């Protein structure tokens, strides 16, 4: 059994992946007083953090060799595997006793493979999936969903408290990302349902401003959906959660369901619309499906079961 001491500000952190979420999480940890080394494939994304006091590593391996805790927030499972097990050489370079907190949304199998590879080297691995938007990351108000060894989770509270308003231990390795797929399935389905409701209202001739305003005030619309309706009303789709990432997460959820011999018909249908919009180019929010469905309201209806 690996031993875990409480993580504190005397521990040096390494952060790999400074995209939409990663850069904001890293800033929060720096502001909390943790010494930090950062790495990002596009080095220009390290400039702001360097100005705030972070060291910049030339490669992931150099980062891993000089920190007590490695955090990463990467685009997908292929990137995670490459950073830790492939060309990034993080596991081969980290000292025994190093702690890894992997924040990416990947397949549970990817998290479990990384966990077992780490254990063989005396390195603990938590999959800590992040739920929340970029404004929530900036405010330190994320929700964290963790899988791995409970003692490792229990001693990481200072890190979690710097970036999140709540954090939950979900079970063994892979459980954190599994819960994230559950959450994001509901997130994507909910946005598609809002988009279809808007399309129906448009087709029925309701005034657009009233449709958006009144729908947002009903009990069936969540606060997150109401905020998305306000942005969509102004045709504003700046990415708080990019649609390309929702597309990826739909794929992960459907793949996991297929592996469990589970049929998710509504999720499959929502994923089709999401995929079509994500292929339109540009870095837009996942709520852009509202615009797609609004545009579809004027098109010839697809044949349905209603006669």
Judge contact between 29 and 161, C-beta under 8 A.
Answer: no
Query: Given the structure tokens 């990002």, which residue do they identify?
Result: 40
pLDDT, residue 1, reads 61
Range of the structural domain that residue 249 is part of: 180-296
How many Å apart are CA 241 and CA 78, to the nearest integer? 20
User: Does 123 share its domain with 223?
Assistant: no
CATH code at position 77: 3.40.50.720
How many Å apart are CA 17 and CA 80, to the nearest integer? 10
User: Does 226 share its domain with 242?
Assistant: yes
Tell which of 173, 208, 235 closes a domain. 173
Question: Which residue numbers in the chain have pLDDT < 70?
Answer: 1, 298-307
Backbone angles phi, psi at 72, to 5 degrees: -145, 145
Structure tokens given for 111? 């998290």
User: Does 149 share its domain with 290?
Assistant: no
On whether residue 306 sits in a domain, the answer given is no
User: Does 59 share its domain with 123?
Assistant: yes
pLDDT, residue 297, reads 80
pLDDT, residue 127, reads 98
Mean pLDDT of the chain: 95
pLDDT, residue 4, reads 86
CATH code at position 271: 1.10.1040.10
How many Å apart are CA 275 and CA 281, to the nearest integer? 11
pLDDT, residue 281, reads 74
On whether residue 60 sits in a domain, the answer given is yes
pLDDT, residue 105, reads 97
pLDDT, residue 303, reads 42
User: Does 49 share its domain with 111?
Assistant: yes
């Amino acid at each position: 059994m690996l031993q875990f001491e409480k993580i504190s500000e005397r521990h040096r952190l390494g952060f790999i992946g400074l995209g939409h979420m990663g850069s904001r999480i890293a800033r929060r940890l720096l502001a909390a007083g943790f010494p930090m080394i950062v790495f990002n494939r596009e080095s220009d994304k390290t400039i702001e953090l360097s100005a705030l006091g972070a060291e910049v590593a030339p490669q992931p391996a150099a980062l891993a060799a000089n920190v007590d805790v490695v955090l990463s927030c990467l685009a997908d499972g292929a990137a995670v595997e490459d950073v830790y097990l492939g060309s990034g050489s993080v596991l081969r370079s980290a000292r025994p006793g190093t702690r890894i907190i992997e924040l990416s949304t990947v397949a549970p199998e990817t998290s479990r493979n990384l966990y077992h590879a780490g254990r063989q080297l005396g390195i603990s691995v938590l999959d800590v999936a992040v739920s929340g938007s970029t404004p929530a990351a900036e405010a330190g108000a994320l929700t964290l969903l963790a899988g791995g060894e409970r003692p490792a989770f229990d001693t990481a509270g200072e890190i979690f408290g710097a970036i999140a308003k709540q954090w939950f231990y979900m079970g063994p390795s892979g459980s954190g990302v599994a819960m994230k797929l559950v959450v994001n399935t509901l997130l994507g389905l909910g946005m598609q349902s809002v988009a279809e409701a808007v399309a129906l209202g448009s087709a029925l001739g309701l005034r657009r401003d009233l449709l958006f305003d009144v729908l947002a005030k009903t009990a069936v619309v969540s606060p997150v959906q109401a905020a998305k309706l306000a942005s969509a009303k102004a045709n504003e789709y700046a990415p708080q959660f990019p649609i390309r990432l929702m597309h990826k997460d739909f794929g992960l959820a459907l793949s996991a369901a297929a592996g469990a011999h589970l049929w998710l018909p509504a999720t499959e249908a929502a994923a089709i619309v999401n995929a079509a919009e994500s292929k339109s180019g540009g870095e837009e929010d996942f709520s852009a499906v509202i615009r797609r469905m609004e545009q579809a309201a004027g098109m010839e209806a697809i044949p349905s079961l209603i006669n």
